[in-house]
Amino acid sequence: MRPLAAAFEFTGGQIRVVVQNACHEAITRGSGAKLEANDLYKYAHLEAGSSFEAAAKKVGFKLYAGNE
């Protein structure tokens, strides 16, 4: 799993979401299904794309010189 850990910088909460979703994916495959690395990669990519931090905008005030 080292390459997976090196590929993503997640918070603990994000890791939890990835693992829960990957486990759910494995369970839906039926009896005897196992969690696979592909499940983790799939949901890691999805979580990385849905990060609120990536879409965050700067909020604040701008200082203007003169009458603008």
Q: What is the helix, strand, coil percentage profile of the chain, to 5?
A: 60, 0, 40
Say whether pTM exceeds 0.95: no
CA distance 49 to 55: 10
pLDDT at 21: 96
Residue 33 DSSP one-character state:
-
Which H or E run includes 28?
helix 12-28
- Domain boundaries of the chain, sorted by first residue: 2-52
What value does the mean pLDDT of the chain take? 82
Please write the tens of the pLDDT for every residue from 18-44.
999 999 999 999 989 999 999 999 999
